[in-house]
Chains A and B, each alone.
Chain A
Amino acid sequence: MLTARDLRVEFGLPGGRTARAVDGVDLDVAPGEIVALAGESGCGKTTLARTLLGLEPATGGRIAFGGTPLGRSGKALKAYRRQVQLVLQDPSGALNPRHTVYEAVAEGLRIHGITDDEPGRVADALARAGLRPPERFFLAYPHELSGGQRQRVVIAGALVLEPSILIADEPVASLDASVRGEILSLLLRLKEDAGLGALVITHDLGLAWSIADRIAIMYLGRIVEQGPVEQVLTAPRHPYTRALVSVLPDSPVPEPIVLAGELPDASRIPGGCRFRPRCQEVASGSALPVLGRCEGEDPGVLGPDGGSHEAACHLVHARMAA
């Protein structure tokens, strides 16, 4: 199981300010489940993913895989990377244009010194990623493939190491609508047949609905609501999630909610509740009973999701308590 506790990632900006791109995140991803991470552009999803992969140093908190903390040493990191693999958004960029499909998929094996039956393993990974017959793709270059085929090659390159967890950053956002479904169903099939776990990053709640078991909604570096995907999307609690869900077709939220203003800069996170400047409950006066806490008290970090539906909001807490 991949676990993150109180994870923080800060970037120093020119002028001495710091951007808190990830600002206290607890997250678990277990094999055999798909967790969606959703939120608007710039909320820190990619930074979180890169940090979970050890591509970005965390400035605080802990990451562990199977109880072993993610070390900074080359050897520990390398062992970790066999277990946790990455799938990027744009398969055209994610593949080296001068490497054949075979080279791209075999690279992971070579890095990790797995030398027995390389062609067999490559063929198997390609087949599992849905490229059949695999041998026909061995000598193809990325530019000779369609977008969907390329993304399958990227996935095969991850699968060949037999990882437990995939981290996929918007895996279908750059693909044609017609092949999105195919790639998503591939992820589902890998989960069901091979027990693969996945963290799928998206800003598309419909996509999260169709593939995820659990969902985490991220706002400005924090997870503000989490739980089983049906519960979160059919009965959203946090005002931010309600606003996101309100614009979906057949939304449980009766009126579309248009949020005021822009996502604030990660270097200027508001005090108290970070969502307050845009919160529709504050604007409408519904949050009046808890307004003091909205302004003065951070609703805090949601603990690891134990399958329960939770939101980081004073108003939600007050209503639940009532």
Chain B
Amino acid sequence: MTDSPTPEGGAAPLHDPAPPSGRRPGRPVSKRSTSGFGRYLCKHIGGAAVSLLLVLFSSFFIFRLIAGDPIDQLTKERPVSPEERAALRAELGLDRPMWQQFWDYITGTLTMDLGDSFQYRRPIFDLIVERLPATILLSGTGMVLAVLLGFWIGTRSGWRQGSRFDRAHVGTGLLLYSAPTFWLGMIVILVFARYLGIFPVNGMRSPNTPPDLWSQAVDIGHHLVLPVLTYTAVVYAGYLMIMRSSILDEIGNDYLTTARAKGLRDDEVRDRHAVPNALLPTVTLVFLAIGGVVNGSIVTETVFSWPGLGSLFVQAIFYPDRPVLQALFVLFSASTIIAVLAAEILYWFIDPRIRKS
């Protein structure tokens, strides 16, 4: 803007104040400041750390309040003498003062020593490590499918709002979304396992599968189909609706018109301009989903007796296995908090507008 002459020629010029004589030179383009990123990072890491501490503290107290006296639970099937009760209490470390139990819990959790399960009398850490792969397999597969399916349909639904495609998919999605998982799982089992008999009813492996890798993988895959189907069916509509409304937010924007006027085809305008921008607000959601893979689908795992963390959690509730509940609660919450933190950090790099402030 250095050399524009004022428009000449007119008895009725409309621009009221004449352009200032010392015109603003092209403003230097701001560089990405590293200190800005440092501050942004600190702020969000600090927030996440506070949330983690709160989860850590509250987990200790919540389950102590709601689970009752574990000695009663552990001895409810048989008569026990006070001496036996005291011995059990000492064995489980419950005779020590509360502050000491608290201290052990905090230092233990921070060093990955999560204590022993009441129910299995084994280190909780080992239980989690054993069951984590099953959970990640089920809900990881289901999550990826649900996100891809939901985003794919949601994009096309929003782009053609009110079309037959849109109405059919929103209807189906919401129907499945509102169906109780338990009920849907039962129907899936009835139809595909009991009636058609093409998939196993529950569990993750059949007992007499040959031990070689290929047979094992096929067997697990076979068991995986129905739980993944159920899980995906229930959650994909959430991603569909979010993506659809995100696309609808972009649709009125002029930059799509600009792109079209430059010669892009409709589907290119959608995929190159609308979709990347519509994905931006869904990043948090996707990271929440990734964080949620750890806690999986508690109901799906239960319906299909899938040997993952979700069914471990349900067993622990019924027992009640307080240390397990305590540890899983911290694990589930921490994975979510860290996933959200990762999303916030990612936003810095993918959304140039954040760097402005």
Does more than half of chain B's interface fall in helix, strand or loop, or is it mixed?
loop
User: In the bound complex, how far is the Cα of B30 from the Cα of A141, in angstroms?
Assistant: 10
Interface members, chain B 1-36 (any A CB < 8 Å): 1-7, 9-20, 23-24, 26-30
Residue of A at shortest CB range from B29? A140
User: In the bound complex, how far is the Cα of B121 from the Cα of A114, in angstroms?
Assistant: 71
Q: Which of B16, B29, B352 contacts A137 (CB 8 A)?
A: B29
Q: How many A-B residue pairs have CB under 8 A?
A: 145
Cβ of B194 under 8 Å from chain A: no
B26 touches A85 (CB 8 A): no
Cβ of B254 under 8 Å from chain A: yes
Q: Which of B11, B276, B351 contacts A209 (CB 8 A)?
A: B11
Residue of A at shortest CB range from B6? A181
Residue-wise, chain A 108-143 has the 8 Å CB interface mask toward B (1 for contact) of 100110000000000000000011100011011101
Given contacts A90-B254, A94-B258, A143-B353, contact A185 B14 (CB under 8 A): no
Interface members, chain A 152-210 (any B CB < 8 Å): 152, 154, 157, 161, 177-182, 184-186, 188-189, 204-207, 209-210
What residues of chain A lie closer than 8 Å to B277, measured between beta carbons?
A: 96-98
B17 touches A95 (CB 8 A): no
User: In the bound complex, how far is the Cα of B197 from the Cα of A243, in angstroms?
Assistant: 82
B6 touches A141 (CB 8 A): no
A93 touches B263 (CB 8 A): no
A206 touches B12 (CB 8 A): yes
Cβ of B85 under 8 Å from chain A: no
Residue of B at shortest CB range from A207? B14
Cβ of A144 under 8 Å from chain B: yes
Cβ of B273 under 8 Å from chain A: yes
B14 touches A136 (CB 8 A): no
User: In the bound complex, how far is the Cα of B110 from the Cα of A96, in angstroms?
Assistant: 45
What residues of chain A lie closer than 8 Å to B351, measured between beta carbons?
A: 98
Cβ of B111 under 8 Å from chain A: no
Cβ of B265 under 8 Å from chain A: yes
Cβ of A262 under 8 Å from chain B: no
B10 touches A206 (CB 8 A): yes
B4 touches A130 (CB 8 A): yes
Question: What is the size, in residues, of chain B's interface with A at 8 Å between Cβ atoms?
Answer: 47
Cβ of B81 under 8 Å from chain A: no
Residue of A at shortest CB range from B27? A146
B16 touches A209 (CB 8 A): no
User: In the bound complex, how far is the Cα of B258 from the Cα of A88, in angstroms?
Assistant: 8
A249 touches B12 (CB 8 A): yes
Residue among A131, A136, A144, A181 facing the most chain B CB atoms (10 A cut-off): A181
A185 touches B5 (CB 8 A): yes
B262 touches A111 (CB 8 A): yes
Given contacts A131-B26, A145-B27, A181-B15, contact A78 B7 (CB under 8 A): no
What residues of chain B lie closer than 8 Å to A182, measured between beta carbons?
A: 1, 4, 19, 23
What residues of chain A lie closer than 8 Å to B262, measured between beta carbons?
A: 81, 85, 107-108, 111, 157, 161
B7 touches A137 (CB 8 A): no
User: In the bound complex, how far is the Cα of B264 from the Cα of A108, in angstroms?
Assistant: 9
What residues of chain A lie closer than 8 Å to B73, measured between beta carbons?
A: none
Given contacts A98-B277, A137-B26, contact A55 B261 (CB under 8 A): yes
Cβ of A53 under 8 Å from chain B: yes
Q: Which of A149, A178, A186, A250 contacts B11 (CB 8 A)?
A: A250
What residues of chain B lie closer than 8 Å to A77, measured between beta carbons?
A: 263
What residues of chain B lie closer than 8 Å to A108, measured between beta carbons?
A: 262-263
B26 touches A132 (CB 8 A): yes
Query: Can you report 12 A-B residue pairs in the complex whose CB atoms are below 8 A from each other?
Result: A81-B262, A97-B352, A98-B280, A132-B2, A136-B29, A137-B29, A178-B17, A181-B6, A210-B10, A210-B12, A211-B7, A249-B12
Binding site for A on B (CB under 8 A): 1-7, 9-20, 23-24, 26-30, 253-255, 257-265, 273, 276-277, 280, 350-353, 356
A sample of 11 more A-B contacts (CB under 8 A), given A93-B254, A184-B7, is A98-B352, A111-B263, A132-B2, A161-B262, A177-B17, A181-B6, A181-B18, A186-B4, A211-B7, A248-B12, A250-B11
